[in-house]
Amino acid sequence: MSSTPPTSPPTSPKVGFVSLGCPKALVDSEQILTQLRAEGYETAKSYDGADLVIVNTCGFIDAAVQESLDAIGEALNENGKVIVTGCLGSKKDAAGDDIVQKVHPKVLAVTGPHALAEVMDAVHLHLPKPHEPFLDLVPAQGVKLTPRHYAYLKISEGCNHRCSFCIIPSLRGDLVSRPIAEVMLEAENLFKSGVKELLVISQDTSAYGVDVKFRTGFWNGRPVRTHMTDLVRALGELAKQYDAWVRLHYVYPYPHVDEVIPMMNGGHVLPYLDVPLQHAHPDVLKRMKRPANGEKNIERIRAWRDACPDITIRSTFIAGFPGETEEEFEYLLDFLKEAKIDRLGCFAYSPVDGAVANALDNPVPDAVREERRARVMLLQEQISRERLQAKVGRTLRVLIDAIAPSGATGRTAADAPEIDGVVHFKLPYLPGQEFGVGQFVDVRITAADEHDLWGTVD
């Protein structure tokens, strides 16, 4: 007589995940994790608890390439079964060889960015999926890597421009806009799940819909064009229902952006524009092959501030681009003195493997690039200090990011997570009132430096 051994429930295969790179890569990671969960895979918190590891890489600048290669090496050493995805996955060296395969020949599979289907094929091959997918375990908003109260909403992939310092189009291809109904549904699911701030991202948010000729889609039974202004209007209405914020990133200063500015006075589409200008001198902008390089940016910024006095403008600039003369650089400084950009990042030009700009005449010596970057940042320190000082005495709406015994931190409409400043404040003890992360609170601003604000909740 034989007896049947007791059966234990099948255990789900576990996948470890390392996510590197920009917010767009983060969204790719979230989509892969969501799909894994949908199919019944679990995520592992350590290398040795994982049956396989996925590394989502960045290939934008040399330091990011090295960081990605190191992360793959660590995952191979610690676990051994590694799938690589992301920008570095589609990058080749000067000899035309795949960089990842060359440095780490033991990886199981390599894909480029935005390759959910290929990544899942590789996972199915090397770690077959569980027999019973627990589809109902997937939260409708997907799996998020950001804290619960804010989330990135990627509206398109790729880019139609060909800026001479950038290799993103060769890594990610031309612009492909997501259907507006799909974007709106994702936004609604995120708000329903408790997200209080939605950060709209893409390579060029102003170009949303160009590739599909601004095709009309439907949302809530209404026609909505695949166009930036329609999208922002619809997101603003949705955010109002959920008492949440929408923040716009990577907006190029095309004329139709002017139509979006009045929508920022309602409190839900934040009065915040992240406009990557990169330079001010027309000749440098032409050498950079920048989109909207013929626009009169000073006039445009002035008009935006007239239409929405509280608007915060964030931008990034490059100092020491090939051929930049001292005169062209000083033109940039004069522009910054006049524009008084609220939040500014400046990078010394760094040649990216494969970029057209590497072949331009008259490269600027390393030391001069660095010195010019430092001069921009010194000027910006003064501008930022003055602009933040003007907020002292005002009461601002703040989204709470963290609460500790020593005090809380949060952000105003003027502060995007990770890249801008924060507000430090103490929460009062009020009987019957509890404060939590992801909640809005009014903070009276009492002090400022060049980055951050301090205040109290009365």
Name the minimum Å distance from CB 455 to ligand SF4: 36
Name the minimum Å distance from CB 383 to ligand SF4: 24
Name the minimum Å distance from CB 203 to ligand SF4: 4
Any idea what DSSP says for residue 170? H
CB nearer to ligand SF4: give 162 or 215. Answer: 162
**Where along the sequence are the contacts to ligand SF4 (CB under 6 A)?**
159, 161-163, 166, 168-169, 203-204, 291
Parallel/antiparallel/unpaired status of strands 312-319 and 343-348: parallel
In angstroms, the CA 278 to CA 290 distance is 8
Name the minimum Å distance from CB 274 to ligand SF4: 12
CB distance 298 to 335 below 8 Å:
yes
CB nearer to ligand SF4: give 355 or 437. Answer: 355
In angstroms, the CA 155 to CA 226 distance is 10
Q: CA angle, 51 as apex, 48 and 53 as ends, to 5°?
A: 85
CB distance 248 to 260 below 8 Å:
yes
Name the minimum Å distance from CB 291 to ligand SF4: 6
CB nearer to ligand SF4: give 203 or 229. Answer: 203
CB nearer to ligand SF4: give 122 or 280. Answer: 280
Parallel/antiparallel/unpaired status of strands 245-248 and 269-274: parallel
CB nearer to ligand SF4: give 224 or 357. Answer: 357
In angstroms, the CA 301 to CA 298 distance is 5
CB nearer to ligand SF4: give 166 or 251. Answer: 166
In angstroms, the CA 55 to CA 294 distance is 40
CB nearer to ligand SF4: give 37 or 290. Answer: 290
Name the minimum Å distance from CB 175 to ligand SF4: 9
Q: Give the count of beta carbons closer than 10 Å to the beta carbon of residue 103.
A: 16
Name the minimum Å distance from CB 321 to ligand SF4: 12
Provide the token pair at 204.
């060029």
Name the minimum Å distance from CB 289 to ligand SF4: 8
In angstroms, the CA 147 to CA 162 distance is 34
Quickly list DSSP for 207-220.
GTTGGGTT-EEEET
Any idea what DSSP says for residue 5? P
CB nearer to ligand SF4: give 155 or 238. Answer: 155
Q: What residues contact residue 420 under an 8 Å CB cut-off, 6+ apart?
A: 314, 343, 411, 414
